[in-house]
Structure 1
Amino acid sequence: MSQQPVLLPYTDPAFVADPFPVYRQLRVDGPVRRVVIAGGLEAWLVTRYEDGLAALSDPRLSSDVADASDPRLVERLPATDRGSVLRNMLRTDPPDHTRLRRLVSRAFTARSVAGLRPRVQEIADRLLDEIVPDGRADLVGSFALPLPVTVISELLGVPVTDRGDFQRWTDDLVLQGAEPPDPARTDEAWRHMHGYLTGLLGAKRARPGHDLLSALVAARDEERRLDEDELIAMAFLLLAAGYITTVNLIGSGIAALLAHPDQLRRLREDPALLPGAIEEFLRFDGPVNPGIARFAREDVTIAGVDIPRGATVLVASAIADRDPDHFPEPDRLDISRQDNAHLAFGHGIHYCLGAPLARLEGQIAIGTALRRLPGLALAVPPGELRWRPGGLRGPERLPVTFTAGAPV
């Protein structure tokens, strides 16, 4: 007997602020649930950890939207250039995914990212220099957002003067709320983004630099390892993915600490707990919410539930990462939690390429904020924080107060 889909209540402010009670009930109700998610799309939600782990490595579940039977998934993309938008490693499978990922993987290894530490620290300190005299700030707008935007821009070779534009276009393309996206707005944003990237890549051709986009242009022109559509799609993916989830990791991580004073105190007293704390923030309230989309290439059965070919399968990492069968006391924030193998970065061949960079930025951002902002506290009651409603979760703003000081 076919399940009736459960409507996730994205119009309910209480759900948006704290979806985990609803998620907990969905997991209790069954390992796989039909749901209606943000934008009115229907999906099969995989709610338990072991099932999600297996699904993320199942070759019968594709990352390519072309394998989906719901035409609205493609219709949500810019009408003018849908083929180009989809030619990136996030939405391709082997062999194309393998070829594309190999082109950029060297820049995101743990060793390469470790070399960025001094510069990330310098950026974090400069941003905090601007706010420490005031004693109050929005830590999303003034810190959590500009830090990863600056880092990925420098890594790719994007001029500082262009960052506001590409950030605005990315928001229009990616940060979609509970309602279906506005096609006209999406098309306009992609036209601007496509035109900007075409010009930027042309400038790299004329005058290559020591940056990742210049290396990709060389791979396109000299080595023929990707075509022009793939080059544009790769540049967009690296720009967008390079900051948009890390913003939420930093913002949600600080918000979680402020809501759990005992954990904040432990981390202040023992900064060596910071790497483990980042993993706990990712597990407890990660930036991808409720999870990671795949599309059934054939009829599949997950946890005894039959899912038809073409269906959207949403591996609910946000729900699976609070599965009590895998994580003891899953609803408790514990920055010293051991064996914290969460699914926030995915699993399998599509495991997040930028995970080492996100971890580094999270550690430096949160650690530096705690060190340089004594007396850090929310400037509003926790219930007044506004959270992003669907797909990517994090506070829209994080107004805080702290003891004012002088730049150091």
Structure 2
Amino acid sequence: MTAPRPRQDPLRDPRFFTDPYPTYDQLRARCPVQRIPTGSGGHHAYLITGHPEAREAFTDPRLSKDTARFFAERPSNRDLHPAISRTMLASDPPAHTRHRRVATPLFTTGRVRALRPYIARVVDNLTTAWQPGKEVDLVAELALPLPITMICELLGVPEPDRAELAAWSHALFDATDTNIVDAASHRIGDYLTDLVDTARATPGEGPLHSLVRDCEEGDLDRDETVSLAALLIVAGHETTTHFIGNAVLALLRHPEAFDRLRRDPDLIPGALDELLRYDSPVSVATFRHSTEDLSIGGTGIPAGFPVLIAPGAANRDPAQFPHPDRLDLDRDATGHLSFGHGIHRCPGAPLARAEAETALRTLVTRFPKTRLAIPAESLTWRRTRLTRGLATLPLILS
């Protein structure tokens, strides 16, 4: 099956960053798997926008996550730090299996349950100065510091360093300048290398010492330990920040849904899947490439091409979710792909859900008549195709 091909990269249009869903709808209507231009260098990739096709692609072993293998055969002027370019997200089994064996126990249901009182204390500390009538930026004052505090606490990152580490992580998702991305990767990689080396050289019982021991027992070497720490920092807060911000905005734009959660906050855990589906914090999943010729959704994909799976598009596939542009808290949205699917499904999902639940519960119970401080159309969105999130979310507390 041959699909019509866009003439320009549809994922770099300024309108895409503000609202990707019309673009996704148009692409999916043409063909749920199609070849698109990427960047301005004459390169192409295959973009997957349909839900069944995305689920299939997530589990197809012929789509490799080993980016080092892909770029080893292609000239590139990129200069990513190895801690960023060779994480668990950029590997296949058996290397991926070793990394995941260490990462998964950090986020078990029991571990997250034990963390819930601490999550609540962090949220209380962040919102203690909030008062009715005050304007706050939900992103800067809650959605960003909550997850970065949690993941840095898990890793034992000193508190004075956390804001700078978050800023470097933020820069990693810049869609406008690869030099900014590469430079940020080295700042993160160098910082975490020093942190891991210090923990390896000095006895201790802190969180990072525990992670180092887990890595050694899991047959991860020093560089792999650094890369796992980097992944936990970057993936552990960036998407959760957007999860919280997108969810609050969706509820404020659907006041009947916000009011329903205000009247019964115990509905919040069940509403999280629909909020994740409605405006996914992961718009396009991280890089894959075809290692041999294959076919997905009836579209042939030759060997050697990048393949981009778009959970943001798949979550709005009307064949899977009727009336997908409607926020429906009664919908069974458990089939959403915002955390991925298969062996690369996000291991930190339980922690992200707990953080979002606590943040939303605080907002709807303490400030049940909160409203946007500016029109929704005036909000600024991050310019990145990988994640979807707000730069700021100014609110009037009430």
Shorter-chain TM-score category?
Answer: over 0.9
Q: Check whether the contact 2:4–2:30 (CA below 8 A) recurs between aligned residues.
A: no
The reply to whether residue 181 of structure 1 matches residue 181 of structure 2 is no
Q: How many Å apart are 1:365 and its aligned residue?
A: 0.8
The code of the aligned residue for 2:51 comes to Y
- Aligned equivalents of 2:77 and 2:271: distance in 1? 39
Between the two proteins, what is the percent identity of the paired residues?
A: 42
Cα distance in structure 2, aligned partners of 1:39 and 1:110? 44
- Which residue of the partner structure matches residue 160 of structure 2? 161
Question: What is the aligned partner in structure 1 of residue 145 from structure 2?
Answer: 146
CA distance in 2: counterparts of 1:143 and 1:287, whole angstroms: 16
- Secondary structure of the structure 2 residue equivalent to 1:35: strand
Q: Equivalent of 1:323, from 309, 317, 326? A: 317
Name the counterpart of 1:309.
303
CA offset digits 1:275-315 (Å, max 9, x no partner): 12211111111111134432101111111211111111111
Q: 1:284 to 1:74 in 2, by over 3 A?
A: farther
Distance 1:394 1:237 in 2: 19
Q: How far apart in 2 are the matches of 1:77 and 1:207?
A: 34
| Greater Cα offset, 185-194 or 41-50 | 185-194
TM-score by length of 2: 0.92
1:243 is matched with 237
Answer whether contact 2:373 2:394 (CA < 8 A) is retained.
yes
Is 2:61 the partner of 1:63? no
Separation (CA, whole Å) in 1 of partners of 2:69 and 2:274:
34
2:389 maps to 394
CA displacement, residues 8-34 of structure 1 (integer Å, 9 cap, x when unaligned): 455654432222112111111112122
Q: In 2 relative to 1, CA 317–192 (structure 1 residues): closer, same or farther, beyond 3 Å? A: closer
1:263–1:335 Cα contact (<8 Å) kept: yes
Query: In 2, Cα distance between the equivalents of 1:307 and 1:283?
Result: 27
Distance (whole Å) between structure 2 residues aligned to residue 38 and residue 154 of structure 1: 38
Q: Aligned residue for 1:406? A: none
Find the residue that maps to 2:178 and give its secondary structure.
Answer: coil
With 110-119 and 193-202 compared, the bigger mean Cα shift is at: 193-202
Which residue of 2 is the match for residue 31 of structure 1?
Answer: 32
1:115 corresponds to which residue?
A: 114
Which of 202, 209, 212 aligns to 2:205? It is 209
* Range with bigger deviation, 336-345 or 54-63: 336-345
Q: Which amino acid aligns with 1:59?
A: P
Asked if 1 retains the 8 angstrom alpha-carbon contact of 2:3 and 2:35, the reply is no
Question: RMSD value over aligned CA atoms?
Answer: 2.3
Q: Using the TM superposition, give the Cα deviation of residue 156 of structure 1 relative to its aligned residue in structure 2, in angstroms.
A: 1.1
Segments of structure 1 that go 5 or more residues without pairing to the other structure are: 404-408
Aligned to 2:334: 340
Match for residue 354 of structure 1? 348
Residue 364 of structure 2: aligned partner: 370
Query: Per the alignment, do residues 144 and 25 of structure 1 end up closer, same or farther by CA in structure 2, a change over 3 Å counting?
Result: same
SS of the residue aligned with 2:86?
Answer: coil
**Contact map agreement 2:168 2:188 (CA 8 A) in 1:** yes
Residue of 260, 269, 275 corresponding to 2:263: 269
Asked if the contact 2:277/2:333 (under 8 Å) is kept, the reply is: no
Shift, 1:200, TM fit: 1.4
Instruction: Write the letter of the residue equivalent to 1:279.
Output: D
Q: Deviations over 1:83-131 (max 9, x none)?
A: x433321111111111111012111111111111010011111111123
Shift in alpha-carbon separation, 1:267–1:28, aligned structure 2, 3 A = same
The worse-fitting range, judged by mean Cα deviation, of 58-67 and 246-255 is: 58-67
How does the TM-score come out when normalised to structure 1?
Answer: 0.90
Q: 5+ unaligned residues in a row in structure 2: which ranges?
A: none
Q: How many residues were matched structurally? A: 394
Once residues 180 and 387 of structure 1 are traced to their aligned partners in structure 2, the CA distance between those partners, rounded to angstroms, is 16
- 1:218 deviation in Å? 2.0
Task: Tell me which amino acid in the other structure corresponds to 1:196.
Answer: Y
Q: Is the 8 A contact 2:173 2:181 kept in 1?
A: no
Query: What CA deviation, in whole Å up to 9, does each residue of 1:314-362 have, x standing for no partner?
Result: 1111111111111121110012212531011111111101010011111
Aligned pairs for 1:37-116 (under 5 A) are 37=38, 42-68=44-70, 75-78=77-80, 81-82=81-82, 84-116=83-115
Question: Which letter does structure 2 place at the counterpart of 1:120?
Answer: I
- Paired AA for residue 255 in structure 2: P
**Structure-1 separation of matches of 2:190 and 2:52:** 43
Find the aligned partners of 2:37 and 2:142 in 1 and give their Cα distance. 34
SS at match of 1:36: strand
| Alpha-carbon distance in structure 2 between the residues aligned to 1:133 and 1:73 | 56
1:298–1:377 distance in 2 versus 1, CA, 3 Å: same
User: How far, CA to CA, are the matches of 1:134 and 1:72 in structure 2?
Assistant: 56
Deviates more, 1:33-42 or 1:330-339: 33-42
Distance 1:240-1:73 versus aligned 2 partners, 3 A rule: farther
